[in-house]
Structure 1
Amino acid sequence: MTDSLSPRVVLVTGASQGIGHAIAQTFLEHGDIVIGCAHSPIDNAPFARALLARYPERFFYYSVDVTQTAQIAQFVSEAESLFGRIDVVVSNAGKNVFRGIDCAESDWSHNFDLNLRSHWFLAKCARGALQKSQGVILVITSNHAFSTMPGCAPYNISKRALLSLVQSLTIEWGPAIRTVGIAPGFIDTDGNQAWFDSHANPQAVREKTIKKHPVGRIGEPGEVGELCLFLASDKAGFIAGTTIVMDGGRSAIMQDDDDA
């Protein structure tokens, strides 16, 4: 795949809000075609509606429950039929399942269906189209794949497993398909703002969180989008089989205390 084929056809899961929305917007601003999906129907997805209004000929949206493999298969099939090709897949959909290692079996199963199996199955469904286009798969995992905190299981376990998925996709499907992982840290999304707001003093918690990042701030969703744009380009053609951490240096800190 070369950049001269722009506009590329880019699939983005979890595109209704947060990081997924920012990724979709970044590719659209670059001139690409984006076919996005999320669990929310379009009536409950205001950010997706805004993209539809701004890019009516280049943004398409489907309501998909990625824990249901039949829905993933249908989404990929319909997406490919729109333009006859798929050039990039950004497998982003997921959510925090922070229940602790003593979680219920139902929490464990839901977490792995959403945060691991969906990425694997999406890649399987898109494989044929990506082989034709010499395409790219970008898997969005988390810095929890590398180090985590009490109570974050089983989420962190599935995110760790995605590192191996990226490796296996690379060595078994390359060189036709190039696969790279991205592990964002604390990104300033509405979801994280809701976490701040759940505290008695949200601003104090935000400032404490910022202090834990050597760069002196938390990340912006658009920064993840820009990294995806680069990794999907030929300029990143020698990057494969690895997962890039973007967490503002947070994981470089050995200890985590009130003064960090």
Structure 2
Amino acid sequence: MTDRLTGKIAIITGGGRGIGAGITQRFVEEGAKVAIVQRNAPRDAMLSEGVIYVKADLSSSREITSAVETVVEQLGGLDILVNNAGIMFEKTVDEMTEADWDQMMVINLKAPFLLTKAAMPHLRKRGSASIVNIGSIEGLASNPGHPAYSASKAGIHGFTAAVAVDHGHEGIRCNAIAPGWINSDLSEVYIDSMADSDRVRRELLAMHPVGRLGEPRDVGSLAVWLASEESAFVTGQVYVVDGGRTKKLPLPIS
């Protein structure tokens, strides 16, 4: 354990599972106090010393505002906002309804805007604060059936740059992380649902030059750096964390 975030107070949306859990764990290890903000209660194991849970439906602007105020009241301020929570489904433009599109944008793009807006007055008071948005390599390219998801994550990348430009002079930095394939309960269910899951696992592994798939803590460690003063001259950037996947050109051979 080190102390890069000692004395810092952070909100992590969706911090109770998957990538969010990896970020929460790393923040706690680095000394931060963390508020997990999401709709469903996290596992009891996540609620260790220095971690609280604040319930909020991130499709509700009222609940978002209330959650931020609750965190500030209970923990005494706010230094770091991590916009991590999101949803994903697979539908082409032909298959997607207007309601599907709106749902994706509300959770993946509008909620980070509303959270940032609600957090801004509190971050501004600190003199030095950090916003970390979780984008995706699908904000840079796309898998089949992901037009809404890719659009939402590309939007997060653009939003990140704009916030950095507008609020840097106030001591508020804003950066994004674009993860690739990260192991989670949901990714395991997704692979297991396929007809030849063993082949899928082998081919997925072969796509990554580092020879392994990502773990939530891989994203969490970068989030720690972006939230800490070690990255004080870094803002408006999108950091790809994908084990080299997007740099490997495919060849038509095995």
4+ residue runs of structure 1 moved beyond 4 angstroms?
none
Q: Which residue of the other structure, out of 100, 104, 125, is the alignment partner of 1:132? A: 125
| Distance 1:171-1:205 versus aligned 2 partners, 3 A rule | same
1:142 is matched with which residue? 136
Contact 2:4–2:31 at 8 Å: present in 1 too?
Answer: no
2:97 is matched with which residue? 104
Helix, strand or coil at the partner of 2:147: coil
Amino acid at match of 2:176: G
| Distance 1:4-1:163 versus aligned 2 partners, 3 A rule | closer
Task: Give the superposition deviation at 1:96.
Answer: 1.0
Helix, strand or coil at the partner of 1:179: strand
2:73 is matched with which residue? 81
Residue correspondences, number = 249
Structure 1-normalised TM-score? 0.91
Task: Give the superposition deviation at 1:16.
Answer: 1.8
Helix, strand or coil at the partner of 1:174: helix
1:111-169 residue CA offsets vs partner (Å, 9 max, x unmatched): 00011011111000000110111210000011000111221121000100111100110
Helix, strand or coil at the partner of 2:22: helix
Contact 2:12–2:82 at 8 Å: present in 1 too?
Answer: yes
Helix, strand or coil at the partner of 1:154: helix
Structure 2-normalised TM-score? 0.93
Amino acid at match of 1:247: D
Structure 2, unpaired ranges of 5+: none
Q: Does the alignment pair 1:115 with 2:115?
A: no
Helix, strand or coil at the partner of 1:34: strand
| Distance 1:122-1:200 versus aligned 2 partners, 3 A rule | same
Contact 2:82–2:131 at 8 Å: present in 1 too?
Answer: yes
Q: Does the alignment pair 1:204 with 2:204?
A: no
Amino acid at match of 1:96: M
Cα RMSD (Å): 1.6
Distance 2:9 2:200 in 1: 40
Distance 1:246 1:26 in 2: 16
Task: Give the superposition deviation at 1:84.
Answer: 2.4
Amino acid at match of 1:123: T
Structure 1, unpaired ranges of 5+: none
Distance 1:149 1:61 in 2: 33
Task: Give the superposition deviation at 1:78.
Answer: 0.5
Helix, strand or coil at the partner of 1:112: helix
Task: Give the superposition deviation at 1:204.
Answer: 2.2
Query: Sequence identity of aligned pairs in percent?
Result: 32
Helix, strand or coil at the partner of 1:240: coil
1:238 is matched with which residue? 233
